[in-house]
Each structure stands twice: as C-alpha cells, then as structure tokens.
Chain A
Amino acid sequence: MLKMTTDLPLLSVRNITKAFGAVQALQGISFDIAPGEVVALVGDNGAGKSTLVKIISGLYKASSGEFALRGQTCHFETPADALKAGIETVYQDLALIDQLDVADNVYLGREVLRGSGFLGRLFGVLNRATMRRETAAALSQLHIKIPAPTMPVRMMSGGQRLAVAIGRAVTWGRELLILDEPTAALGVEETEQVLRMIEELRQKQRMTFMIISHNMQDVYRVADKIVILRQGRHVATLRKTETTLEEIVAYITGAKQKRVER
C-alpha cells in the first residue's frame, strides 16, 4: 500500500484533447509528473502549452481525456476548484490586483477574519494585522524583498510583482505550482532570483513544479523532465540527464520527429 502511494504520480495527464470550434488545439496529450519533480512544458507559439495549463487550472474544460491528482480524477469547473485541490498557477500576466496591496493580494479569496461569525466569509471583518504579518514572514522566508506588505502592487516593479505572485502560489499551493512563462518579462538578475527560488523550494520543500517557458536555458537548468508540444501534439518527453539543448530545440522546431517515453 505504501509503495503504491509513493509510486502514484502527483499529476497524471491522460490523453487530453481540446478543440475550439474546428481548431484542434490539443490532440491527445499524456504525461505524468512525479511528486517533487520539476517538469518543463515547452513548445513554439501555438503549440498548446497555455491551453493545457488553462485546463489543469480550471479555466477550460478538456474536450476529451482527463487528468488526475494523486490518482483522483479531477473535475474542475472553475479556477476556484483547482485552487481548492492545491494547484496554484502563476499566469504570464501575473493575475495580481493592482489596486490592492501585497497582503490583500496574497490573501485574496482566503482572507483571515476576526472571529468567525455565522455570516462567515463574506461579512466577517478582515484581520489586516495578521495578514500583513504572515505575508511579510512568508515572503521573507522565500527571500522575496518588498518594501512593505501594505504597498499597492501597482507601485512595484515587474520582478517584485512576479515575486509576490509566486509567493502567493507557494503560500497556498499544497500540491502543484504551475508557472506560466515566469521569466519572460524579467531582467537577468530577477530571472536568476526566480530560478534560485524554484531550486530551493524543490530541494527544501520537495515542491512540485510545472513550468512553461520559451527560454530553453532556464528550462534546461531547473527541469528534471521536459515535455515538448508541437502544433497541439505531444512529440517528446525527455529526461534532462538523457538529452541536450540541441535535441530539445530540434523537437520544438519539428526537425526531429515524435518520440514519447515516460
């Protein structure tokens, strides 16, 4: 029994397809992510990476196929369902609320309330002090430097905003963290910080990641396994230890043809 649970993949994607009208965005994608693994999802523009992420994070429904979290098939109707299941996604456009401050963003939808009245979540009164303190503690543990948890997000740099978004995901994500193009808009130093954060979280907390990226250098550095999509098809799953950057690029561009292994 114990052996079974340890062998169970954290996320198992089985033959997922997605059609938008006549357009086949995904044509039967299958792969597994083991607990504690960092998997990169790569492919050219239009390969279907974002579509797949949106299915797993509850924004889209697959046309066919399914995916399971620790062996339990998931039926997500909304992003809220995915979040409840412990899957946190940091989107390319960050999905932070500019007008709210850092603490309000980190706790958005999961506010800490003073007491617990029967009117519950909606009409309880916010416990700002606790949320700010916890936010500051959580972010500093991740070596994320922000001026203050009371700072509105709109006044922060791109790197700071991403750090807050990742900080929120790490704070709440129990199972899987999906990062959609985490380094696309960052400078060299900020990119380095984000990559180091991923490596550290993985080593110290055995956190599981799925990373979507265009940047092959970044992918090659942090990923254990690379899943390559091309024009909606799954063309290869490669272990980093058994492949090269050149081979990955060859699969992405179509210079090399389908080879799928677990």
Chain B
Amino acid sequence: MTATRDWRAFAQQYGLLFSFLVLCVALSLVSDRFLNPDNLLNILRQSTINGIIAVGMMMVILTRGIDLSVGSILALSTIMAADMLQQGWNAYAAAGFCLLVGGVLGLLNGFLVSRFAIPPFIATLGMMTFARGLALSYSEGQPITGLAADFRQWGTGFLGPIPLPIVVAAVIFLLGYVLLNHTPLGRYIFALGDNERAAFFTGLPTKNILLFVYVLSGALAALAGVILIGRLNSAQPTAGLGYEFDAIAAVVIGGTSFDGGEGTIFGTLIGVLIIAVLSNGLNLLDVPSPFQDVAKGAVIALALLIYRALR
C-alpha cells in the first residue's frame, strides 16, 4: 500500500518476501532443476489458477468472510460453458457465459450473507454442495472433453513470449491492487472488514459492499475455470476439489487477517507463489503426494504462528 503503514506491517510484508526468497534459494541448492527457466515458467503457469481465485478470496476475507464454494463454482460454471461450446458458441461468448454463471452463484452467496445475515462459512458451505451437485447432475457425472481450439487458447495460448494465463492473472492482480488501494470501493472493503458498525454509521452501503465481494469471488473462480478447462481441453464436474484450501492458504500466508480489514494484494501474490514453489519443490524432490499435503499444512500453521507473534 502506501506510506500509511507502520513498521510492523512493513516487517510483515518484507518478512514474507524474505521467506519466499529463502525458500527459492533453498530449493535451488537442493535441486538443480529448480532454477531452470522452463521450471520457473511452469511454476508461474501453475500458480495462475490459484492466484486468480485468491484475489477474490482475499477480498472476501478482508470483510471477515470466507468463500468455501470457489471450487464448486468453478466446476459448475465450466461444465455449463463447455456445454455451450459444444452447442457451437464462440470462445468469447462461452468464456463470458462462464463468468456470468460464476458471478450469479457468487451473488447468491452474497445475498445469503448480506441480506439474511447467514454466516459466510455456512452460506458458502451450502453453495459448495449445491453447485457441486448441480455440476454433477448437469453433466450426468461425465466430463465434457474436446473443446473448440480457439477456446483452448485461454489455457494454452501465448501473448508474445508470455503464456496467456500468466497475462490474465497479472492483469487480475493489477486490477485487484488498483481496486483495493486507489478506489472508494477498496476503502469501503477495508472499512467494512475493520469495523462494520462504524462503516454503516458512516453511511457506507455495507450490504452492497458484501454483495460485491462474493460476486467478484464467484466470477474470478469461473475465470480460473476458463483457464483450467482451456488447458485440460476438458471440463469435469469434479474439477476444483480442494481449490478453496489453496486459495485460503495463499491469502493467509500472504498476511491477510481473518479479523478483517488488514491485508495487501502484494502479500497475496507472494502467498500464491510460496504455495506454488512449495508444491513444485516437493515434486522436484520426489516427495510423495500425501506428504506434500502435510508439508503445506505445516507451512500454513507456521505462517499463522509468526503473524500472531508479530502482532
């Protein structure tokens, strides 16, 4: 953010960057494949999906909420978009439709949370099951494979030398930064998360701010889905299982507080990269998959302990 931060936030932010660099140096020492440009590009490419979801998740967590439904929203929106592609829609229309479905599902989350005061955990847990069930029944449990070539560009294309998903993710992070730090709406999201009552007293439209963050989270999950099915050339009703975990982990490692109102988009970016580098490193070291989860869980716990200690 800006000069408004105190030394502690400063220490938190640079401590995070420092940890990330230490992790990279350590991996480059134990594996000669880590610093290979192809591997680094691969890490970036793999982190785009979690990164895009994490930007939406961060906004939700800033308001003291949580969105457990991102994986299921991704599955339902991509299954429906893939079906439209099969029916001959063009790549832009199908991608737009995917975002629309994600946004509408997010709107439902937002309505439950803002208008009916249902705790975000419960509302999005319900949506998680609801959307997953719809995805499975809509597709009758079958994946839709073989997507139009121009749609696959979303996942496999390049803009100059840079893979398109990385460009998309970079744009989302940039927009997220501008939104949070340079627009009134960004101020309102921080204000609402810090002190909802004070925000309401100040005349802010608190319900609509909440609505917005859930719509954004749903739409960004769907956008991540567009990239995912473009790359896999297949939409699957079981896609996105556990994605909420990676997104929440990235946001939390990135220093966004569950108490709301505190966090930076830069921190979230580093959190996403730490998760991606960690997975990559564990793969390079041939660590068995179950143990990778143990390692990830341990890192999150460690990050939270450090933040508590810093407070």
List A residues at the B interface (Cβ < 8 Å): 57, 59, 78-80, 82-84, 89, 91, 93-101, 104, 108-109, 111, 113, 121-126, 128, 150-152, 155
Contacts and interface: CB of A to CB of B under 8 A. Distances in A.
A205 B262 CA distance: 39
Contacts of A109: 184, 188, 202-204
A96 B6 contact: no
A108 B187 contact: yes
Contact of B2 (A78, A79, A128): A128
Given A122-B183, A126-B187, 13 more contacts: A97-B190, A97-B194, A97-B198, A98-B194, A99-B193, A99-B261, A100-B187, A101-B4, A104-B4, A109-B202, A121-B184, A123-B183, A124-B183
A150 B3 contact: yes
Contacts of A79: 200-203
24 contacts: A79-B201, A80-B205, A91-B201, A93-B198, A94-B198, A95-B197, A95-B198, A97-B191, A97-B194, A97-B199, A98-B194, A99-B190, A99-B262, A108-B199, A109-B184, A109-B203, A111-B187, A122-B183, A122-B185, A125-B182, A126-B183, A126-B187, A150-B2, A150-B4
B4 A152 contact: yes
A86 to B, nearest CB: 12
Contacts of A99: 190-191, 193-194, 261-262
A175 to B, nearest CB: 15
Contacts of A152: 4-6
Interface of B: 2-6, 178-179, 182-185, 187-188, 190-191, 193-195, 197-205, 261-262
A98 B199 CA distance: 11
Contacts of B190: 97, 99-100
A82 B3 CA distance: 33
Contacts of B201: 57, 59, 79, 89, 91, 95
Contacts of B261: 97-99
A141 to B, nearest CB: 22
B210 to A, nearest CB: 14
Nearest to B200: A79
A225 to B, nearest CB: 26
User: 3 shortest A-B CB distances, which residue pairs?
Assistant: A80-B203, A95-B198, A95-B201
B184 A124 contact: yes
Contacts of A96: 198
A84 B203 CA distance: 9
Nearest to A96: B198
Nearest to B186: A126
Contacts of B205: 80
Contacts of A93: 198
| From A94, A100, A122, residue with most partner B Cβ within 10 Å | A122
Contacts of B203: 78-80, 82-84, 109
Contacts of B187: 100, 104, 108, 111, 126
A79 B3 CA distance: 31
Contacts of A126: 182-184, 187
Contacts of A95: 195, 197-198, 201-202
Contact of A97 (B3, B5, B195): B195
Contacts of B184: 109, 111, 113, 121-122, 124, 126
A108 B183 contact: no
Nearest to A128: B2
A117 to B, nearest CB: 11
Contacts of B188: 108-109
A151 B4 CA distance: 6
Contacts of B5: 152
